[in-house]
Structures are given as structure tokens and as C-alpha cells.
Amino acid sequence: MPSFCGWSCAPVHKTNCSVAGWLGYLGYSRGLVFERGTVGPPNPGGVDTVRYQYPVEGIWLAASAAISGPKVGLAAYEPGEGLCLLLGASWLFPNNKQATETVNGAGGPGARTWSPTIQWYTLEAAVSRCSVQNFSLIGGFRYDSFSTKFADPVPVADFAASTSGDEAELNLTSYIPYVGAVTKWGAVEVGVIGFPWVPGAIEQRQTIGGSAVRYVTTWNYRNAYFLETLAEVGRQLGIVNLSAFATYTVLHAVGEFDFIRNPIAGASESAPNNFGLDRQNWIAGGKAMIGFNSPL
């Protein structure tokens, strides 16, 4: 979820600073899918694979500020223009919908639904520079924090271990570097950013059978990639720029971790597990940006 202000060669024509507010609706093409499975032989009497799938959508708000450096060329949007520094943040007000959990093990498949509570925010810093007319290169970093708490499970298929006291948490922290480019034709701006390697960490906590057994898993992404596209069309009205935008974002990660079973009484045990994470979302909405000259 980016803060796009400052992607073009300058924040606003003939100004060197800008602030912007973004309002949109975040939807999903696939929702978030998190799946883990036991590495090696099946786990006798236990669960071998678990798959969570749930929609991630809601009202998306963001704010950003940009400042451009001294111009090197003779005019704005000319090769040699100074760097543009961008800072931004975003927050999702989720429309929480039912999530599903599907398990498969020695006892056969089972499924249940959960009531999730989602929290998602990002912090971002980037720089861009115009290399040719109406074309900018961009590089940046995004801190992405996504967490979900699950409660009120309801079995929808054979799930003998499910109780009303079960609960779960899924926390994803991604440290996303990116590079990309953006170009502009008149009022239309399009761009793409991404990176083939994304560090990150995942934590899952789950209680099964009331308070009898607590599972805890923590590990890092082994392989991950990030891709995001942008399309925007706007109009300049004095120092204010109004525009409509749409984005599409993909984050995919895989890895391996130790699945730790912590009974209330008795020794803990662990087993290696693989995990896969896939999140695909789009945002559509509007932006208002104000440009001004810095007094400094």
C-alpha cells in the first residue's frame, strides 16, 4: 500500500514541497492465504497441513509529504532535476469477514470458520529522480505490519478438536525494499515497483481444545517477492491536484519453521514445517495534493 506522492519528477508544478491525503477502498483478488505443512513423514494422530484463507478489505487512508531538491536542469521535468524525497504512512480500517481454516491429518480433513480482527499499517520512505522528460526512477523502503486475531470458531466440517474457547493469532512483518519507474502522459500517470527479495518474519499462535494445548510458531521468510502497479489520472487546479487512482499489490513468501506444541502439562515438542503466504490486494480511490514552496 504505497504513498505515491512524489513519484513524478516533482511534487507539483513550480513548487518544491507537497502534502497529500489518500482515501480508497482496499479489496482483494485472492484474499490472504497462509498455509503450513509438516516436513517429512505424516504426523501420526496429528495435523499435517493447515490452510487459512480470509478476505482482507476495508477503507484505506494514507498521508504523504514530499520535497524536491535544487534543480540542476534549466526547467522542471528536465533531465538533471534534483532528487525528490518522500515520506508516507497508511492505515486500513478493515471490514472484517469470516475466515476459514481447513486442516488435514491422520484423522481426516476438517474445516471451521473464524471471526477475524485485522490490523494493517505501513510506513514508507523513498527517493525519485527524473532521468528523461516525464519519466522518473524510484527507490524506497516500506515497513509493512499485518496482524490478525481469530476468535469464535464454528466447525463447518468434521473438526473434533474445535472448542468455543479456541483462539489464534497470525502476525506478519515485512521489510520491503523496492525499485521501479513511473511515467506520465498528460493527466495520466502509470508506474510499477517491486523487488525479488523481501525479508520478513511470521508468528502464529493458536490454542486448541480450550486451554489444553498452545501452539507457537515463529520464523523468517526464506524466499519472498513484492510487486505493485499504479495508475492515476488527475487535474491541476491552482496549487491543488485532484486525482483518481488504482493500485494492485502482490506479496508472496515461503519458508520453513519449527512448529512447537506446548501442552499445559508435560514436555514441549517441535517438528519442522513449511509455510506459504500469498496476499493480493487492489485499492481504488482518490487523492488530494497541495503543492507549495518551502520557506527554508
Q: Where are the domains of the chain?
A: 17-292
User: Where residue 240 falls among pLDDT bands split at 50, 70, 90?
Assistant: confident
Residues in the chain: 296
pLDDT at 49 over 90: no
Q: What is the mean pLDDT of residues 175-181?
A: 95
Please state, as a whole number, how many other Cβ atoms lie within 10 Å of the Cβ of residue 54: 22
d(CA 286, CA 243): 6
Selecting from 3.30.70, 3.30.450, 2.40.128, 1.25.40, what CATH number does the domain 17-292 have? 2.40.128
d(CA 104, CA 82): 57
Which of residues 15 and 45 earns the better pLDDT score?
15
Identify the pLDDT of residue 117.
92
Identify the pLDDT of residue 41.
47
pLDDT at 29 over 90: no
Identify the pLDDT of residue 261.
60
Burial tier of 127 (Cβ tally within 10 Å: 0-12, 13-18, 19+): middle
Q: What is the mean pLDDT of residues 122-144?
A: 85
Identify the pLDDT of residue 84.
83
pLDDT digits (tens, 9 = 90+) for 206-232: 777 655 667 777 788 989 999 999 999
Tell me what the pLDDT averaged over the chain comes to. 80
Identify the pLDDT of residue 142.
97
Q: Taking the alpha carbons of 109, 112, 114, 120 in that order, is the dihedral positive or negative?
A: positive
pLDDT at 268 over 90: no
Identify the pLDDT of residue 79.
44
